[in-house]
Amino acid sequence: MSDSDLSGIDLSHVDLSGSNLSGSNLSGSNLSKAYLSTADLIRSNLNGSNLSGADLSHVNLSGTNLSKADLSGTNLSDADLDGANLERADLRGADLRGTDLTRANVSHIHLRQSKLSDSDLSGTDLSHVNLIGADLSGANLREANLIGANLRGANLFGANLRGANLIGADLSDADLSIADLSHVNLSATNLSRINLIGANLCGTDLKRAKLLGFNLRGVNLRGADLRGADLNSTDLSGADLNSADLSEADLSGADLSGADLSRADLRRADLRRARVIDTDLTSAILANCQIYGISVWDANLNDTVQRDLNISNDEDVPITVDNLKVAQFIYLILNNPEIRDVIDTITGKAVLILGRFKPERKVVLDAIRDHLRSLGLLPILFDFEKPASRDLTETVRTLAHLSRFVIADLTESSSIPQELTTIIPILPSVPVKPIILAKHREYAMFGDHLGRYPNLLPTHIYESQESLIDELQEKVIAPAQNKAEELRPGAFGSE
């Protein structure tokens, strides 16, 4: 039957499975609900024919003219439509699963609610095509032209859209989870309420995209263009934003916890009330950003460019700083009188007590703390039960920096002198008063090594715990108080 003229013929409900109809003229024919599975229709003419509800599964339709054909509800699963002409064809509700549509002409076709899962549409021109509610899960749309296409509510789960052009397309309510959208142009695309969980958006053009409140947790946005994008209150926790361009983006209220923003460009970005916890900002650019209310904890800021960070709210006079972590501290000081009072209290009244206080020596500790409290001072105890470490050293140094003076009990503690070597030279205005029980030998070379520093007071040697308590004010606290006043005259006011 190949090359036959069957134009206008009524073949509805006819079983033509396996028939060779290649090159035949079937234009205007009625093939509704016909059974054509595995038939050969290569280069045949089906222009304007009625194929609604027909079974065309596994049919070779390559090069076939199907323009203006009614293919609504037709089974075209695993059919070969390579190079076919489907211009203005009606494919609403058609089953196109596993179909090869490469090089097919699909301009102005209707694919609403059609089944296109796992179909090959790579490089296909689907511009302005109606794909509302279509099932495109797992479909290959690589480098397809989807300009202005209507994909509202479409299922694109796991679809390959790499390099596709979606400018002006409507993707509202579409499911794009686990889809590959790398290097896709999504500028001016309607992305409202879409699902992008697990999607690959590496190198994607999302300029000025509206992604407000989206769940983009763990999404790959590496190198994406997000200039001017609306990411207000968006969940970007754990997202890969390495080398992304976020300049002028709205990230206010966004969750950036655990996100990789290394080498990202955040110039003029709005980061107000954003969560920046365990975030990697290595070599990122943070310049001229709004950061009022930002929460920063354990962020990696190595080699990060930080300048002109505005900590003020819109209605306040602009105050800028050049350090993200310091910004929070400065804001708290400026806007919380209680915190200012606490800082003044700590720096004016804190006394750091260093020692290794075993249970039998707690009486010494209690006596020192009680006496300091009676003088209106604030004792801070640091008990050296653990071996020295870098973190411990930094902690001791920080506490010493906040203290009026330091009392260091060298009894049974070989690590304290080591810590003092990192305090005394770099904090010349903080007096250090060592004490030691007489029967214990003072740390070798301790005095020789640090004796030249004026903030190191002579070591007080006490015979017993009782004698120390009796001599505490005269031999320990008073000399330390006097030295503190000498090194910082007027710093503590009249007492």
Contacting residues for 286 by C-beta, under 8 A, at least 6 apart:
266, 267, 269, 304, 305, 306, 307, 309, 324
C-alpha neighbours within 13 Å on the C-beta side of residue 19: 18
**CA pseudo-torsion sign 416, 418, 419, 420:** positive
Whether residue 406 contacts residue 433, with contact meaning beta carbons closer than 8 Å, is answered with yes
Instruction: Report residue 277 as tokens.
Output: 């916890």
Looking at the fold, whether 261 and 307 belong to one and the same domain comes out as yes
Domain that holds residue 410: 341-487
Whether residue 258 contacts residue 277, with contact meaning beta carbons closer than 8 Å, is answered with yes
Whether residue 74 contacts residue 95, with contact meaning beta carbons closer than 8 Å, is answered with yes
> Does 129 reside within a domain?
no
Looking at the fold, whether 317 and 363 belong to one and the same domain comes out as no
**Residue 264 has what pLDDT?**
98
- pTM for the complete prediction? 0.65
> Does 131 reside within a domain?
no
Whether residue 319 contacts residue 310, with contact meaning beta carbons closer than 8 Å, is answered with yes
> Does 288 reside within a domain?
yes
Looking at the fold, whether 348 and 483 belong to one and the same domain comes out as yes
> Does 322 reside within a domain?
yes
Looking at the fold, whether 250 and 353 belong to one and the same domain comes out as no
Contacts for 419-424 with beta carbons within 8 Å, 24 or more apart?
419/354, 419/384, 419/388, 419/392, 419/393, 420/354, 420/446, 420/450, 420/456, 421/449, 421/450, 422/393, 422/396, 422/397, 423/396, 423/397, 424/450, 424/453, 424/455, 424/456
Give 327's DSSP letter.
H
How many domains does the chain contain in total? 4
Report which of 79, 110, 116 is spatially closest to residue 92, judged by C-alpha positions. 110
List the CATH number of the domain containing 433: 3.40.50.360
Each residue's pLDDT, cut to its tens digit, for the chain (495 residues) gives: 667 888 899 999 999 999 898 898 999 999 999 999 998 999 999 999 999 999 999 999 999 999 999 999 999 999 999 899 999 999 998 999 998 888 888 888 888 899 999 999 998 889 999 999 999 999 999 999 999 999 999 999 999 999 999 988 999 999 999 999 999 988 778 888 899 999 999 999 999 988 988 999 999 999 999 999 999 999 999 999 999 999 999 999 999 999 999 999 999 999 999 999 999 999 999 999 999 989 999 999 999 999 889 888 876 667 788 888 778 777 776 666 666 666 666 667 888 888 877 777 777 777 888 888 888 888 888 765 554 455 677 778 878 887 889 999 888 776 787 788 888 998 999 999 999 988 876 554 455 667 788 999 999 998 888 898 889 899 999 999 999 999 888 655 544
Looking at the fold, whether 214 and 350 belong to one and the same domain comes out as no
**Bridge partners (DSSP) listed for residue 381:** 353
Looking at the fold, whether 423 and 436 belong to one and the same domain comes out as yes
List the CATH number of the domain containing 147: 2.160.20.80
Instruction: Report residue 474 as tokens.
Output: 């005269």
Instruction: Report residue 196 as tokens.
Output: 């992008």
Distance CA 436, CA 458 (A): 11
Looking at the fold, whether 290 and 395 belong to one and the same domain comes out as no
Looking at the fold, whether 439 and 345 belong to one and the same domain comes out as yes
Looking at the fold, whether 60 and 2 belong to one and the same domain comes out as yes
> Does 130 reside within a domain?
no
List the CATH number of the domain containing 209: 2.160.20
Looking at the fold, whether 43 and 54 belong to one and the same domain comes out as yes
Radius of gyration of the chain (CA): 38
Looking at the fold, whether 189 and 285 belong to one and the same domain comes out as no
Whether residue 480 contacts residue 431, with contact meaning beta carbons closer than 8 Å, is answered with yes
> Does 9 reside within a domain?
yes
Domain end marker among 287, 311, 335: 335
Distance CA 145, CA 159 (A): 15
**Residue 388 has what pLDDT?**
47
**Residue 387 has what pLDDT?**
46
Looking at the fold, whether 186 and 218 belong to one and the same domain comes out as no
> Does 1 reside within a domain?
yes
Domain end marker among 335, 360, 382: 335
Domain end marker among 150, 166, 198: 198
> Does 310 reside within a domain?
yes
Angle at 153 between CA 126 and CA 184, to 5 degrees: 50
Supply the DSSP string of 59-107, one letter for each residue.
-B-TT-B-TT-B-TT-B-TT-B-TT-B-TT-B-TT-B-TT-B-TT-B-T
**Residue 215 has what pLDDT?**
92
